[in-house]
Structure 1
């Protein structure tokens, strides 16, 4: 058995001014900017209430879009579960996997980043050898 939940909404911005993009989304969504900003960081995480889904503004080189991050306590098992639902692996990174849903939307699968995982994650049964629950 493994667990997973929605972890982050990531707003990918192909922009030279990530702070300006983060200011827009901060004001649009009503979530404050972080108190300290690292000008070299490729992302800015807005301050959402504790335990809620995180909103991250990220600098990217591809077209602007938004994607979801799925938190899990077993990346291997969650990727296998999602492949069984029709998703495909786009690329494997050191600490996460980029996948694509049958609809064409990209998303990431990685380890939990915020509090409350144990209390709020979905529980999934172990997959049998033929890939079915």
Structure 2
């Protein structure tokens, strides 16, 4: 039997402040015994690890080596506005993915929700007004955007150099190529069709 992730722990200047932000961001509650030194946030109803926040004397000095990717329930713009009202800040804005920071500067991403192929044209337009609706390309495109956006946010390059296919960049709109299935994370090669026998 393999291990599983029980909780994720954040160092913080004020554990309670950071815990309240993430509880509100994820739609859950801060444990009633939490303090500024140590705070606990239970995983939301949809699952995921619990979150601990511990006060430490030193501040954050570099980009996180790990971050959360949040799936917006509606449009990315609406979710970004909600998180800004809770105390987050935008580091790099985009149509499909926006890089933000929590009140203590920990980076996280807000990404778009892929539209199922069964959606009508009007439903696609409502969720993704820019017309991005190809779930097979989603994983690869979002990986490229995450790397490019974080690099750009930290001044280590130009995000426009690393767009994914089908994204909102002008260069991508001109090419609009589809990816082979083996370039998409988790995708299995398409089975070979057997010839029909007469």
Q: Give the TM interval when normalised to the shorter protein.
A: 0.3 to 0.5
- Richer in helix (by share): 2
Q: Output the TM-score relative to the length of structure 1.
A: 0.36
| Higher RCO (CA 8 Å, separation ≥ 6 residues) | 1
Rg bigger for which structure?
A: 2
Question: More strand by proportion, 1 or 2?
Answer: 1
